[in-house]
Amino acid sequence: SPMAERLDLPRRVYRVVRTDPPTRTDFLSPAVLGRRFADPRQHDLAEGISVFATEAQARRQALAYQLGRHIAELQLRAGAEIRRTQRRTAGHHTVRADAEALLRSVVRVVPVD
């Protein structure tokens, strides 16, 4: 899609999660969780999970939207597809990968505050 570009792996990214340690549920896409988006342009976003390029960007989103109490640092590897999604949110990327594989890719978890 013209809204996204593939990025090289391996790659460090940051995901807001609810618990430390995170669980598989923290890495399920909105589509898997049954959430529907009215706008078809958001289909790509629904099929993957939101991550951020920096810990600071993830922290800002976590605080602004009460997304979770922790930030997980992930070392993505081959098998994950990461796209930079053109949104108003700085550093926002969408990752499509198996939730179990994403959970295994967590290298560090820090509190939001």
pTM given for the model:
0.89
C-alpha to C-alpha distance for 15 and 49, rounded to whole angstroms: 8
Cβ atoms within 10 Å of 76's Cβ, excluding its own? 22
CB-based contacts of 75, cutoff 8 Å, min separation 6:
10, 11, 12, 105, 107
User: pLDDT (tens digit, 9 = 90+) per residue, 5-28?
Assistant: 677 777 999 999 999 999 999 999
Q: Are the C-beta atoms of 103 and 54 separated by less than 8 Å?
A: no
Residue 43: pLDDT band with limits 50, 70, 90: confident
